[in-house]
Chains A and B, each alone.
Chain A
Amino acid sequence: MNVLMEEMNRRALALGIPLGAHLDVTYRCNERCVHCYLDHDDHGEMTTAEIMDVLDQLADAGTLFLTLSGGEVFMRMDFFKILEYARELSFCIKIKTNAFMIREKEADLIRDMDVNSVQVSIYSHRPEVHDAITLLPRSLERSIKGIRLMQQRGVKVIIANVLMRQNLADYEGVRQLARSLGVEATIDPTITPKMDGNREILGLGIGGKELRDVMHNADLVGNVDDFCATPPPVGDEDLDTVPCSASHTYCYISPYGDVFPCVQFPLPTGNVRKQRFLDIWRYSPQMNDVRSIRPRELPVCSTCSHIGTCTRCPGLAYMQGDMRGPSVQDCEKSYARTGIPSANMKLRFTATNGHPVAVAQPANLVQIQLAQAC
């Protein structure tokens, strides 16, 4: 992150401004990815006018960085109307899409509206693997075509590759594909529980040796010695810092108007169909509860040697039952990087005398229930 971007984040944090927002315009999708956490039925999406009103409110609140995602954004017939309005409000926009429905006309419009970047999900360079994950025939072929059309028009495209057991062998192939298309590529081994709390899809993710191999691949992480180094001694700064941007400078809004601290943090804080966005952002007890979290007060993580370098996600911890508890997936990542068990791993091992432990009950994820109530 460059100096000016850091300064902008610092200023937004000090002023309590939601500098970034993620707005899912729909949960409907033409793909049915095996690892997707969403319910793709429409439970009453916001209308075009409602979304425009939300965009007005976000602009007034100071939001600059806006991610428009789904579901598949192009399932909405009014998506370009929404996009055009968002650009009139001078947002810096990132679109997340599978690019299946992007043809010449769509690529032209994305270029003409000066979208900052478009992130496209690609799981493999092989159709038999990618299409088996999306469950949509010819999806890889169509997505690549969409990427090519955008790249040819100068649109910045980023391929996002979620790593699972099913496509673990193909990440190098995806990176080569990205290079051949002239676009960037990222990988992410994080699988998120379903919105209804169902954690079965977590079994699709990689762990253990597979995760360790990924974390020690210099092509992916750069300097392995640095990336996988033993964490330095924990200092006061590590314990008193803001753990992540959720609820501090960033928030998530669902297609039904529900506002959450983050796209990966399904704690309901309010609904823009009933309240003004800034009232939710500033005064929601849930938002302020998340805002109050500091590493020092976390009962387990504050004792962990990884606390200063861990990517602990409070949203994943929430989905495991306690937003102030450990995020098991991040414990696993820290362990895979360094070979040093987290405090939570040691505690669980000791508490069960070395036997496997039951996973904590998931939080009551009420995202859909709230939407139905609207």
Chain B
Amino acid sequence: MTTYVARSKQVAARMLGGEMMIMSPRDTTLFNLNDVGSVIWQSADGQTPLDEIVVRLCAEFDVAPEVARQDAEAFVQELAGHGIMHVSDQPITAEPPRQEPT
């Protein structure tokens, strides 16, 4: 199965000294991604398969494909759990509906 990942458009984010800083609008939690995470984040356009992103990681960071694949999957699932990344088995073209405040 092909996995697609997309940055949430609801976040605020900026590269700072080679690392991505992300602020979640849900609870203003701040995330700091290392250089590997930053590459995944910047590649997560909803159209690029995660496998293709993993290939980029392997080329850039000298890491074994299987290790990179496992780490990338765990990483995107964790960000998805925080609501700042979307993961799907289909290309992601639109931001999923927001959750209304309770």
Q: Is the CB of A62 within 8 A of B15?
A: yes
- Taking A64-B23, A114-B25, A154-B101 as contacts, is the C-beta distance between A4 and B30 under 8 angstroms? yes
The complex places the Cα of A51 from the Cα of B45 at a distance, in Å, of: 27
Contact with A along B1-33 (1 / 0, CB 8 A): 000000001111111110001010100101110
User: A156 — which chain B residues lie within 8 A by C-beta?
Assistant: 28
The residue on A at minimum CB distance from B30 is A4
User: For the side of the interface on A, what is the size category?
Assistant: 20 to 34
By beta carbon, the residue of chain B nearest A156 is B28
Query: B21–A153 contact, CB under 8 A?
Result: no
Contact present for A17 and B13 (CB under 8 Å): no
- Cα of A90 to Cα of B14 in the assembled complex, Å: 7
Known: A4-B32, A5-B30, A154-B100. A62 touches B12 (CB 8 A): no
Quick one: which of A95-149 are within 8 Å of B by CB?
114, 116
B43 to chain A, nearest CB (A): 15
Minimal Cβ-Cβ distance residue in B for A14: B17
Instruction: Tell which of A11, A91, A154 touches B16, judged by Cβ atoms closer than 8 Å.
Output: A11
Q: Does the CB pair A116–B21 fall under 8 Å?
A: no
A59 close to chain B: CB less than 8 A = yes
- Complex interface: chain A residues within 8 A of B31 (CB): 4
Measured CB to CB, the nearest residue on chain B to A113 is B10
Could you say which residues of chain A place their CB within 8 Å of the CB of B16? 8, 11-12, 15, 17, 19, 62, 64
Size of interface on B: residues with Cβ below 8 Å to A: 18
- Cβ of B30: which chain A residues have Cβ within 8 Å of it? 2, 4-5, 8
A4 to B25, CA, bound (A): 16
Residues of A within 8 A of B9 (CB): 87, 114
Distance between B59 CB and nearest chain A CB, rounded to angstroms: 26
Instruction: Verify if A271 is at the interface (C-beta below 8 Å from B).
Output: no
> Is A7 at the interface (CB under 8 A from chain B)?
yes
User: Which of these, B12, B100, B101, contacts A90 with CB under 8 Å?
Assistant: B12
Q: A7: nearest residue on chain B (CB-CB)?
A: B32
Q: Could you tell me the distance in whole angstroms from the C-beta of B15 to the nearest C-beta in chain A?
A: 7
Q: Check if B25 sits within 8 Å of A11, measured CB to CB.
A: no
User: A116 vs B22: C-alpha distance in the bound complex, in angstroms?
Assistant: 13
Chain B residues whose C-beta falls within 8 Å of the C-beta of A202 in the assembled complex: none
* B contact residues around A153 at 8 Å (CB): 101
A-B contact pairs, 22 of them (CB 8 A): A2-B30, A4-B30, A5-B30, A8-B16, A8-B21, A8-B32, A11-B16, A11-B17, A15-B17, A17-B16, A19-B16, A63-B14, A64-B12, A64-B14, A90-B11, A90-B14, A91-B12, A92-B23, A93-B12, A114-B10, A116-B12, A154-B100
